[in-house]
């Protein structure tokens, strides 16, 4: 018997703003720029790429490129996207032993 599989799309499961914040928080905690860009891309797709690009002052193509696996979004892009997503980035001290 052959097992049939389908592609998983996390964007379909991130309609809730709290779930989006948790996903992005997890990505930020890793410190992995690629994962952070990926997480932002998934959240943007969940909310609608075209509208978020417009709200962030970017073209849709520029936003796709910035949040692609090889993308490297600038700080201004990051801030524009998080503002368009209604997500606030926060900082906290890391305790060093």
Q: pLDDT for 20-76, tens place per residue?
A: 888 999 999 998 888 888 899 999 999 999 999 999 999 999 999 998 878 888 899
How sure is the predictor about 17, in pLDDT bands with cuts at 50, 70 and 90?
Answer: confident
Position 71 scores a pLDDT of 82
Position 95 scores a pLDDT of 85
Residues 49 and 63 sit within 8 Å (Cβ to Cβ): yes
**Angle value at C-alpha 44, between 38 and 87, nearest 5 degrees:** 95
């Amino acid at each position: 018997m052959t097992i049939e599989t389908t592609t998983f799309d996390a964007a379909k499961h991130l309609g809730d703003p709290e779930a989006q914040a948790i996903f992005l928080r997890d990505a930020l905690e890793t410190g992995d720029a690629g994962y952070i860009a990926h997480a932002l891309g998934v959240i943007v797709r969940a909310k609608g790429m075209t509208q978020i690009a417009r709200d962030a002052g970017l073209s849709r193509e520029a936003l796709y490129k910035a949040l692609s696996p090889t993308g490297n979004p600038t700080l201004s892009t990051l801030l524009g996207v998080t503002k368009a997503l209604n997500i606030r980035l926060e900082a906290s001290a890391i305790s060093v032993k």
